Amino acid sequence: MSKLLVGNIDTAADEEGIRSFFLPIMSQVISVDIPLDPKTGKNRGYAYVNLRTDVQAENAVRALHGKASLGRNMTITIVEQEPKKGKWYKFGAP
């Protein structure tokens, strides 16, 4: 699974609006997470979108970065996944 950060979204944008923004190039968005401001209850101007593969994420960045939605040009970047924490020693492990 690959995660995208979608920035510069309008404060009126909701999950359905973000899904429809991706619809022309993505047939399926796994999930959309929109952090809300606790004081106002509106979104903070960014959202996280999960896609199934890294290839889909790269295609979405190429096709949608800088495109307008609700009067704003969206910024889309791939979120780097944190490496899994493990023991500092790995005897015989791949």
Burial (CB < 10 A; 0-12, 13-18, 19+), residue 72, is middle
Answer whether 0.75 is exceeded by the pTM: yes
Q: Which domain holds residue 61?
A: 2-78
Please report whether residue 60 resides in a domain: yes
Please report whether residue 89 resides in a domain: no
Instruction: Count structural domains, the chain.
Output: 1
- Please say if the pLDDT value at position 17 is more than 60: yes
The fraction of the chain above a pLDDT of 70, given in percent, is: 87
Q: Model confidence over 44-71: pLDDT tens digits? A: 999 999 999 999 999 999 999 999 988 8
Residue 56 sits in a domain whose CATH number is 3.30.70.330
Band the pLDDT of 86: cuts 50, 70, 90: low
Q: How far apart are CA 60 and CA 63, in angstroms?
A: 5
